[in-house]
Every structure is written in structure tokens, then in C-alpha cells.
Amino acid sequence: MSRFAAWLIFQLAIFSLLMLWLAWLEFNGFVSSAVTDLWARALVQVGGTGTFSASDSFYPPVPFALTLLVELLPGNSGVPPPFLVAALIASTTLVLWFLNLRVAAGFSILGAVLSVLLIGLNPYFLRAVSDGPEMMMILLGTWVFARGVVNLRLTGAAPDMMKVAVGLLIVALSDSFGLMISFGALPFMVLAARPSMLERSAAGYLVALFFPVAAAIGSLLFVSSIFQSSLIPRLFEVEEAVSPGEYFIIVSGLLPLGFVLALRNLSVMRLFMPTIAAVGSVSGAYFLNYFFQAESDPVIASVPILGVVVVCLRFWPPSSFREPIVLVLLCLLMVHSVQALRISGTGETDEWARAALGHYSDLQGPTRMAAQSLQGKAGIMLDVERNPEMVVAFGDVSRLLTSGQPAYDLALEGGRLRAPYILVPKVMGMEPVSDRILRRFPGLASGAQAGYRQIYQNSKWQIFQRLEG
């Protein structure tokens, strides 16, 4: 058996285990909102009409493109395509980390396996896998970026500069939190640079690193303006009620570990400066996120630090005590991560923890029942961009009236409602209304829309049928 085939089998085994883990979460009722949103957008693009007009930009483009490719594959297994993409990226990342520790760092096979196993079983990593391909791409990109930072200081070679630029480009195009990493890295790239590079041209050095990110985001903004779609709102999420203390507790294991590993090279400045810069970059991104809320869940926002931790392990000086110390530190990180989640779990992470422990929660039950009540019906008017969970519940959009179809567009542009059925979320109290159908026809919220009668409602949804005549 060739070495490539052996690694392929190894990755397939990890991929299968991760898919079993995701299936367990789904069996217990947990599918993250990020996975639902990405899956729904792929369903709309693949199964919708060619005239569908999106009001939101297709950001982030890389995870969306990968999910779209999986959705286009023949056959429909019912497995969320974002799960497949996330598990594939996660398994690839873990194999690359093993090879990096085993080959480049000189770890023993057992030491490298146990190190990667402890990282892969860390609750933060598993939580990130369940959140879909966005954070997995950011984790991979952060690792590429951090490796490039260290190697660039050591060699000053163009390929290593490209690694830094590509890593930053990957994170920026994978999730809005990646922009926080790019901004957080900016001051630390000066700290990590070779003195000769700064002497030659400090401005040129920074432009070479950050131009791909700036060009990519500028292109997305330009395309968004041409198609009159909304990009800026997609860069920010609904703010979670997280206190500063909880925000610090969640990262109080990962960040100290990163700094401790970087300080191990304090006597070798050519290693210490770039590793501390890499740790500082993700630390800066985490704390910038507290103010900008590019990622509303701080557990997810802390995950990229794992990629920098692996790079710091790679450059830990060889010694007879290196592997035992590393394994002890990773075990302590595992214990701390579990305790931190028990103390400060937030939002979806609480739901994820309950599902992981086998506690079933049918959070999407009302959505599924509303979709079932419309079985066999067609011409259902739905704001698919604001209600991705309902798109997933239907499984396709062939029976839906969506943006780009005359009955939908004319109604929202001032015309009369003519759809046979209207499906809208139920407004609870004084919460803000994002559904565009409800905003255009507020009478639907109270069940009093002229020409329609309410035929179904539950705790989350209302369904209306057009009256004859």
C-alpha cells in the first residue's frame, strides 16, 4: 500500500467518526443556525427558479461554493451538505496537523497521534465542526497563516510570504470573523517581520501581505453594489447577552496556553517574535469581536487559537520531556474547556452541549409540523432568505414562491397578494420583524389580512390560504 493510500484511509476513518458525531447531534435535535442558513441557500440556488433574485450577498463565498458543489452531486441522502463539507475539512486539517508534528517537529508517532487526538476531542473543536464549514475553513486558514508567519521570519522567502497572504485570504473569505483576524493581525505583522524587510520597505511588506484580502473584500463590495444585494449586514450577527467575565472565562484556557507555548522560545528571538505575533493576532481578533459581534458565540470565536497552538507545538524545541509536557498541557486544556462550557456556555453552545450529552430537544418541531401541514400544496409564498429553517424543512423550493417570481415581487413592490398560500413566522411580543412579507403586510401578524384566512398556526408559524372569488 502506498503512503498516499494509507493517509487517505486514515483521513476517511476520521471523516467517518466526525460524521457519526454530527449524526448523533442531529439525532438529538441539534443543527446549528449557520449550517441551516448555508444549506437553505444551497437549496434555493440548486432547486429554485433561474430568476431568483437574492437581496443578501452570497457571503461567505468559499463555504457557500463548497456546499453548493456537494448539493449539486447526484443523489439525496438527507445528510446536510454543510456537515459533509465541515467533516471533510476537519479531517483534512487533523491529518495535516499530525503530519506537521510527526515529520516537521519530529514527534514520535504515539506523541503526534495523542496530541492531535486531544485537540480533536476538545469540546471547542467539536463545537466548531458542528457549526459548519465556515469555522473549519477559518481554523485551517489560521494554521496556514501562523505557519507562514514563523517561516517568513526564519527564511524571508516569497513562498512563506504567500502562505501568510493566502492564510489571511482564506479566513477573510470563509466567515466575517475572519475579517477580525485580518484586522487583529495588522499590528503584529510588524512585530513578526524580519528587520531587513522593514528596513527595505515596511509599506511594501504590509501591502504584499494584506493586498489579497483588501482586493477580495473590495471585489465583493463592488459585486454587491452592482446586484443591489446586502453585504455589510451579513458581516455581523445578532448580539448575544455575554458578560465580559464570561467572555474572558471562555478563552481563559486557550489564550494562556498559546502564550506559554510561544514563551518557550523566548531565548530564540527568531522563533519567539513570530509565534507571539501569531498568538497576538488571534487574541486581538477575539477581543475585537467583543465589540463588533462578527461571531456572536464566543466559543466559536475562540477556536482559531487552536490553529496557532499547533504551530507553537511544531516549533517547541526538541527534548526528552517535550512530548509528556505537551500531552499534559493539552489534557489540562481539555479539562478547562469542559469546565468553561459548564460555567459560561452561551446561546447555541448550550443547546449543542445538551445534544452532545444525549438530551433530545425538538427545537425544529414547530417548523417541521408547519411544513408537513402544507404537504401536496404549491404556490407557497415565503421569504426564503429570512426563514432558512423552513426551506430546510421543505427539502426543496419547487413549491415555493420566491424573489424573482412575479407573484412575489409584485406583492412586495406595492401590488396585491395573489399567492395561493402565505407562510410567515409568528411575531412574538415586541420583537423586531425581519420577514419582508410581514413588513409589507403587517395584517398577517394578527391574522387579519384581506382576502386570506388563517388555516394553521403553532408557536412559530402562521399559514394563510387565499379566499376564492
pLDDT tens-digit profile of 110-156? 999 999 999 999 999 999 999 999 999 999 999 999 999 999 898 88
Mean pLDDT within 358-382: 91
DSSP string, 27-41: HTT---HHHHHHHHH
Tens-place pLDDT, residues 205-248 = 888 888 888 888 887 777 766 655 555 555 555 566 678 888 89
What pLDDT sits at residue 274? 93
If you ran DSSP here, which 8-state letter would residue 318 be given?
P
- Is residue 50 over pLDDT 60? no
CA gap 401, 383 in Å, rounded: 9
Tell me how crowded residue 342 is: count the other CB atoms within 10 A of its CB.
Answer: 10
What pLDDT was estimated at residue 76? 63
* Nearest to 192, CA basis, from 234, 153, 250, 163: 153
For residue 60, cis peptide bond before it (omega within 30 degrees of 0): yes
pLDDT of residue 200: 83
What pairing do the DSSP bridges indicate for beta strands 400-401 and 380-381? Answer: parallel
425 has a pLDDT exceeding 80: yes
Pairing outcome for strands 421-425 and 380-381: parallel
Indicate the pTM of the whole model: 0.92
* CA–centroid distance for 5 within its chain: 30
C-alpha–C-alpha distance, residues 449 and 461, integer Å = 15
**Residues 74, 49: contact at Cβ < 8 Å?**
no
Cβ contacts of 455-459, under 8 Å, gap ≥ 24: 456/370, 456/373, 457/426, 458/366, 458/369, 458/370, 458/426, 459/366, 459/426
Task: Convert the pLDDT of each residue in 153-185 to its tens digit.
Answer: 988 888 888 989 999 999 999 988 988 999 889
3-state helix, strand, coil in the chain (%, to 5): 65, 5, 30
Task: Return the pLDDT at 66.
Answer: 94
Task: State how far the Cα of 265 lies from the Cα of 367, in Å rounded to an integer.
Answer: 54
Q: Which of 443, 451, 450, 444 is nearest to 469 (CA)?
A: 451
- What is the C-alpha separation between 297 and 246, in angstroms, rounded? 11
Cell of 118: 486531544
pLDDT of amino acid 314: 95
Q: Which residues of 116-152 are buried (b: 16+ CB within 10 A; e: fewer)?
A: bebbbebbbbbbbbbbbbbbbbbbbbbbbbbbbbbbb
Distance CA 135, CA 300 (A): 7
